[in-house]
Amino acid sequence: MVCRARAKRPAKRTAVHAECVRAVERTGRLLQSLGHRVEVSHPEAFDDPDMTSHLERVIVTHAAQTLDFIGRALGQPLKAEDVEPYTWRLAAEGTKVSGIDYVTSADWVHGWSRRMAAWWAEGFDLLLTPTIAEPPPRLGDLGGPGGDPSARWHRNLEVIPFTPAFNVTGQPAISLPLYWTPDGLPVGVHFVGAYAREDLLIRLAAQLEQAEPWADRRPPICA
């Protein structure tokens, strides 16, 4: 198996926390010790600066469509107080997107997905990144009531620069708790396979869990 790993920075150069970089580097060394070949690389399409704007346009349009669908099912339109401010903000932005602009962005992300897939077609099995760009945020930092919904949107993008790409491409991926910060917070590492290669992810996860078991790791207080 060939795994290419990189603690990369996405197109907008979101800062990646040092502990998340260490998580990927340590996992790369663990993979090498298990007989895998690890290289520093990633799909060039990952760095395309236009991806975020096209994806946002698709997301907000779908948010508007979803609230409209629910309202029709209930027999009355949803109001702002029926959903979280963050959700309402997405839907409100979605109502401003024209049909032409939506189809343009949808076509763009489909083409981008094919460019992403080309990296795996070169003969590499898995891509390794941090799951998120920093150790686990505090509860309420990313969602929930209160705060500026627009600021929350950008805050979310700061935290999750690696995973949305594969919501777009539809590729299988898995996050494994293979690293902990000095104060005991888990840091996930994220593996992405080619289309329909869930089998590789499951096999690798089983091997890594056997090599570095995590089932007995518990915080001082847990339910």
| pLDDT > 60? residue 5 | no
The pLDDT assigned to 93 comes to 95
What is the fold of 2-211?
Amidase signature (AS) enzymes (3.90.1300)
Confidence check: pLDDT of 3 > 80: no
Q: What is the mean pLDDT of residues 194-199?
A: 95
At residue 7, the 3 state secondary structure works out as coil
pLDDT at 184: 87
| Tokens matching residue 142 | 């990313």
Residue type at position 40 = V
Report CA 206 to chain centroid distance, whole Å.
22
For residues 200, 206, 212, 214, the Cα torsion angle rounded to the nearest 10 degrees is 120
Report CA torsion sign: 160, 161, 165, 168.
positive
Name the DSSP class of 35: T
**β-pair type (186-193, 173-180):** antiparallel
Stretch 136-147: mean pLDDT: 76
CB hemisphere CA count around 106 (13 angstroms): 12
- Tell me the per-residue pLDDT of 30-59, one tens digit each, with 9 for 90 and over: 999 999 999 999 999 999 999 999 999 999
Region 68-84 average pLDDT: 95
Domain range annotation of the chain: 2-211
> Does pLDDT of 20 surpass 80?
yes
Task: Give the pairing of strands 2-5 and 37-39.
Answer: parallel
pLDDT digits (tens, 9 = 90+) for 80-131: 999 988 899 999 999 999 999 999 999 999 999 999 999 999 989 999 999 9
Model confidence, pTM: 0.85
The residue count of the chain comes to 223
Residue 32: phi and psi, rounded to 5, are -60, -40
Q: How far is CA 23 from the centre of its chain?
A: 16
The pLDDT value recorded for residue 139 is 82
CA distances from 181 to 105, 148, 165, 166 (A): 39, 30, 26, 26
What is the spatial distance between Cα 2 and Cα 121, in angstroms, rounded to a whole number?
A: 12
* Residue 60, CB-side half-sphere exposure with 13 Å CA sphere: 24
Task: Give me the chain's average pLDDT, please.
Answer: 89
Average pLDDT over residues 172-194: 94
Q: Is the pLDDT of residue 14 over 80?
A: no
